[in-house]
Structure 1
């Protein structure tokens, strides 16, 4: 029991500690600072490569050929702007969703308890504790009443630990039962869990299949770049006899398109925009992969209370129970009426849960009894109680735990619970509630019937998951029949099981989870075991919850989703926090994940196709240069100058990729990202590269060619490249919608406009005046487009994928 009430620090004492730096100065999020964001987006490997090539081009005096240098500015500016916006949104949301401990501060002759941000806590502050509260700094217990602390997130010890006066508590642990207060002894970076918390809250891309896939692709490209780049540099500088300026421009023109400069950028933009969009829906994303991860989830484990039903409840009915033998006279004088007992129990609960808050609302006139012993509610025991001396020992909790299941009262509770109502038993015990063998023999006095309102959006959310082939498992600590009734009213089929009958063996548990949909009377350790069992069968599991009893399962699930009104402990371990407590927000999170995954796959196809055809073209031209040196034939100058590859990327890759990366996309996420992208990009890139090289060979006039003839040959090769490149875009944009068709059409027309304007032709070093060469280039480009089209359909047949030209609207 609490032995004293300790006052807090005065304003002067707080100010002194702030001046001495004894504050809890751990950052709320381990996000990068503004200067780190700027450096991180400017000094990148891709910017370094493009920067060196830009300097080389500018050394030749050809400023227009340095236009690709604008990519450095674009890469840096877009990355910086998006990350700063994401940081601003996340920081605002983090403040909203941040748990605020109750801190005692002196006020006049007494003290008041103020909810403060963790950063406002100073050394020696007195902080109050209640069920579900997270301990924000290290300290020593000053007051306690049946206080139990869960340190599993720090030590791995699953069982809650009882804490007494002068016992130490560590930041990062949380209260599972009882109440109390502690004095802060270590704050800021000295606290035990400060480094762990800082590391855990990083805005990062850990365990992302998308990120890992892109890294593998970039490694593959690096292996291609080294030999292709070396060959290009050698042949253009030492075999062409074209003068160092023209040779350098040709070399840079070969190397620039090999670099997938926009791939990582577009990925970052897509993720950042996703976070901002979800932020506007009051969804706090603690880790970026959570957006992607939830899109891959195939099982959602949903808690009933606070997720499918609203947190608020009201007392619907109180049914008196007469458990005495027939003919026995009532002998409860001095015990008080049921109304007195309920009112006193509610008044004496320092941190009432939703059920006790409803009882307090209904019974507002406690008789003023003095408590002699208390037993706080625990998820493991399912009951709480208070002893009042001569007024009796009273317990309130789950009827199926406190009653003989064959009794009339238990049967009545079962019948009421089957209607989807929550039922609590109020009973008197034959021993003090703090006795080791409590509650002992319980004599039932009344059934307290509580109404829970089903969330109006729960049915639509469950229907959405069903349409997306995502299984929903309702896991609750409430009575199984009551949970089953709620699930049934929401259209969830499947069997309902009492978790007390669940097998302990992991394989048997996994089998049961495959068969049943709804589970009641689930203990916290069982929730965790159920998550593990589902994962053992290859499922990607999302766990939703709001209470302390959900923390371990939230932590071990692939994606943990906590409600904003839930306990601070549950919010701390979850990757996603629904700050407005709307279960209906989850479909939007799934939608954002699918948009990111699907669109990045499209964008990757565009960038990697460009890399493949650029490397192939460089290798073919390089081999041609080597053969010329060996056999004395005319050397091959690389067909393009840097400005050519720059304008080629504008409308076949850059602008369309930006639009596609932000477009709606509801296609289901599938594993095998790298395989699919490489399977698509390699053949397309080979076709484009081979067609462009063929067009250039047929147009090339040899070393005797004039500057005009070389420009005409380069223009012919560029026309072939653009026709094939636009068709690659048209394939990647499928299935079509009106705006996708418009995107492809505008991209193609943009090049028609460029070739039609004399000033543009002069500026971009283009000469399509040779009708024969231009017609030939168009013909080869169209042939390449046909080949790309055939490959796309054949790939679909071989891979067993249903390919379609137009999007079919779901009804």
Structure 2
């Protein structure tokens, strides 16, 4: 029966060291109980005008202009807009068009994603009961739930969604599924005088209650306010790119100013040097970076969708690669989300394990590790559980593809237990018809039923909390047998299970079910929400990837500790935070298990982990998870969970399989690797161009490149080849390396050094070619132009990802893009219209061969370095995904680590 605390209920004494106590119901707002005739229509109408409708208020929405402005204030976007202005002044309209198009695409994506909060609140509205049974003017009416006011008298029955916060004035065998609000998987019994919250569901019984809070003041409204007020923090990638934009802008301006000063001091025209300096600023800005990021994220989103993980926010795709902590709700995420009998004990301390998934009858009984047919004593226990029971289990239908419980989930678990022991529930109940019953009594903590046997005698069955049931005069058994069963009950309770004792007796005349006596104990059943079969392996996989799994649940501390223990997250002596004790967000930094948490506390826990420097992914499926899903760096919702959770999340797991998160994390790491790979390539080109302009005069090359030539190289190298780098496949070992440090700059982990080294190689090859051409009386400026472009394109091939032997995944777009850009680069000195546009001179075939030979040298050096240094897997204990060597190929060269 619902709400049987059993051993392992809320009153159980636990022997773990925790920081908290039991949850308490909120105190009802003071309001006079409604009269039996309910409010009068006039009074209700007046209150509705004064207090407003019983709806979740939508937050004030930001206007389109405000949302666009928010996107355009991003430093990198602002730098790109400045570049667009410069290219317009230089009459480089194609480059201007590309930059503006990139900005528009990224702004549109950002604006679309800002409406997620509005959808989350709208989902809360849809969750609320659309109608309610209300007593008005002495009559029972069905009214829109939005019309409820404080003081209304509301009637509840099984299956109803509670339409507002109610103070119960009458309750008969009432129990509610509060998991969507509290996260606790076991339904809770409620009695007259207690409060029930809006959004919870009546599973059994009936009740009448007075409305004490409506709309935004209700429990559902308070969670809505948390969702609306919780602004998602910028993703790690957004923070890193914002910082990079500021650094690039400042560096480009300083170095370009230096080039301008050197040119003027060398006697060059001020106008020419000003145009050159501005061109270098544009060249130093990788304007295709947003396009590369967008492409990489979009491809990652498509790959994730193929794995049945649907990203709702594009930047969340990359954020997964940064995750250092996964905070997971137990119910429905790591567990099946359905109650099941996991163990049964019969007199003699004989323990049986029961297997199976959900409420389906498929499953086995195991004894001492071996599957067995249920013995007679176990079948007698299962039969009694079937009879003293008001729940039913229905088979799959077209609308519901799974076996479904109707009634108390705990009792439904007993129905399934009977089926797994070989009993047919309907046949058993027909053969033993119920003739009397005593419903569950909250004080006695038991339920009793009386059934007629085929021989005319009567079977009395009683189930309840072991500490109440296993005592005289209720049961007639020797002290040793009772002691064995009591000890077994405590052992099962410490495993986080709800334990029920079952007893029965055969009598000649129907007894008073309220006063059973002389019963014989049949045994114990231990009911819980079983772990998903893959859950321990999932936890181990996260640990291997350097990701810390944290359990956050509304369950009792003993239950949370038991689940944590089976997942390998908790052992005796480890810290365990209890939300009832205060602020769990200030718990011990090594805490892995949080029990009895409320929605507000989940927010505190997430914020506390973020304060410690973690990138947090939160998984959940209930209404109570929605604020934390939004506050986390990435919220992951179960596809089978509540719509509120899905709308508040960044990623939805269609099949509720947490293993998909590991796949998504690998995809996120691949995306970040490709972004760094592009930065290595593009920024090295900018460094090389500035170095050539700065050092050229020192080597007898007065003006190595004209502004138009700089912009042409920039267009060819940063364009299609750069974007193609964003589609590189993942490298081996992606999920076996630790996550990168959340504090690490996008240029960290040696990338900044590698940019300088690679840029130096390109500059050295270019200046060497220029000096050779000048000495040989060749058109040295055109040679510099060709070599600089070809060298950068060669580096694009050198920094490709390492391919796994036998891998079929290839990025053919990159070599094609490099080949086309190389042909266009050479065309700049061969085709007269381009020569006139760029100010180049024609080169002979021999000169072009020499340029090509010199141009491939930087890329060849990088490839050979990688070959000699191996795959460069990261050393144990490093957080840099590309750590392991200091070779010039660097992180963006595509290491296995």
Tell me if both proteins adopt one fold, taking TM over 0.5 as the criterion. Answer: yes
For the residues of structure 1 that align with 2:45 and 2:678, how far apart are their CA atoms?
54
Within 5 Å, give how 1:589-738 maps onto structure 2. 589-620=664-695, 624=697, 636-637=702-703, 639-642=705-708, 644-665=709-730, 667-668=734-735, 669-671=739-741, 672=744, 673=746, 674-696=748-770, 712-736=779-803
Partner of 1:761: 834
Deviates more, 1:406-415 or 1:253-262: 406-415
Query: Is residue 205 from structure 1 mapped to residue 272 from structure 2 by the alignment?
Result: no
Query: Is residue 745 from structure 1 mapped to residue 800 from structure 2 by the alignment?
Result: no
Return closer, same or farther for 1:426/1:577 CA change in 2, 3 Å cut-off.
farther
Query: Is residue 770 from structure 1 mapped to residue 770 from structure 2 by the alignment?
Result: no
3-state SS, counterpart of residue 524 of structure 2: strand
Within 5 Å, give how 1:241-320 maps onto structure 2. 241=268, 244=271, 249-267=275-293, 270-271=296-297, 274=300, 278=304, 283=309, 291-292=317-318, 294-297=320-323, 306-312=332-338
Deviates more, 1:554-563 or 1:574-583: 554-563
For the residues of structure 2 that align with 1:607 and 1:135, how far apart are their CA atoms?
58
Partner of 1:221: 248
Deviations 1:235-267 (A, max 9, x none): 6678655584x5554343222111232334533
Partner of 1:800: 884
Partner of 1:407: 483
3-state SS, counterpart of residue 311 of structure 1: coil
Return closer, same or farther for 1:473/1:681 CA change in 2, 3 Å cut-off.
same
Deviations 1:272-305 (A, max 9, x none): 6656765676657687776555445567676776
Return closer, same or farther for 1:57/1:553 CA change in 2, 3 Å cut-off.
closer
For the residues of structure 2 that align with 1:165 and 1:677, how far apart are their CA atoms?
65
Return closer, same or farther for 1:564/1:692 CA change in 2, 3 Å cut-off.
same
8 Å Cα contact 2:386/2:415 also seen in 1:
no
Q: Is there any run of 5+ residues in structure 2 with no aligned partner, and where?
A: 1-24, 183-187, 350-382, 394-404, 417-424, 450-458, 472-479, 504-518, 578-587, 876-882
Partner of 2:660: 585
- C-alpha displacement at 1:696, in angstroms? 4.5
3-state SS, counterpart of residue 408 of structure 1: helix
8 Å Cα contact 2:55/2:214 also seen in 1:
no
For the residues of structure 2 that align with 1:31 and 1:268, how far apart are their CA atoms?
26
- C-alpha displacement at 1:681, in angstroms? 1.1
- C-alpha displacement at 1:639, in angstroms? 0.6
8 Å Cα contact 1:544/1:560 also seen in 2:
yes
Within 5 Å, give how 1:339-488 maps onto structure 2. 342-344=388-390, 354-359=409-414, 374=442, 396=464, 407-410=483-486, 424-426=499-501, 446-448=523-525, 465=542, 468=545
Partner of 1:510: none
Q: 1:69 aligns with which of 86, 96, 104?
A: 96
Deviations 1:77-97 (A, max 9, x none): 331454467578998899779
Within 5 Å, give how 1:778-789 maps onto structure 2. 778-789=852-863
3-state SS, counterpart of residue 581 of structure 1: coil
For the residues of structure 2 that align with 1:50 and 1:301, how far apart are their CA atoms?
37
For the residues of structure 1 that align with 2:324 and 2:755, how far apart are their CA atoms?
29
Structure that is richer in helix per residue: 1
3-state SS, counterpart of residue 425 of structure 1: strand
8 Å Cα contact 1:205/1:288 also seen in 2:
no
For the residues of structure 2 that align with 1:744 and 1:21, how far apart are their CA atoms?
61
For the residues of structure 1 that align with 2:656 and 2:49, how far apart are their CA atoms?
35
For the residues of structure 1 that align with 2:750 and 2:710, how far apart are their CA atoms?
26
8 Å Cα contact 1:346/1:357 also seen in 2:
yes
Deviations 1:664-700 (A, max 9, x none): 4262443345233212212112332344345446657
- C-alpha displacement at 1:425, in angstroms? 0.9
8 Å Cα contact 2:203/2:408 also seen in 1:
no
8 Å Cα contact 1:274/1:596 also seen in 2:
yes
For the residues of structure 2 that align with 1:713 and 1:22, how far apart are their CA atoms?
79
- C-alpha displacement at 1:76, in angstroms? 2.2
For the residues of structure 2 that align with 1:560 and 1:358, how far apart are their CA atoms?
31
8 Å Cα contact 2:129/2:199 also seen in 1:
no
Within 5 Å, give how 1:106-145 maps onto structure 2. 110-112=140-142, 141=167
Return closer, same or farther for 1:386/1:111 CA change in 2, 3 Å cut-off.
farther
8 Å Cα contact 1:425/1:447 also seen in 2:
yes
For the residues of structure 2 that align with 1:652 and 1:567, how far apart are their CA atoms?
47
Deviations 1:311-363 (A, max 9, x none): 3456799888799xxxxxxxxxxxxx95697325999xx99663234347858
8 Å Cα contact 1:24/1:188 also seen in 2:
no
Within 5 Å, give how 1:41-60 maps onto structure 2. none
3-state SS, counterpart of residue 748 of structure 1: helix
Return closer, same or farther for 1:311/1:808 CA change in 2, 3 Å cut-off.
same
What is the number of residues matched between the two proteins? 717
For the residues of structure 2 that align with 1:555 and 1:766, how far apart are their CA atoms?
55
8 Å Cα contact 1:129/1:181 also seen in 2:
no
3-state SS, counterpart of residue 447 of structure 1: strand
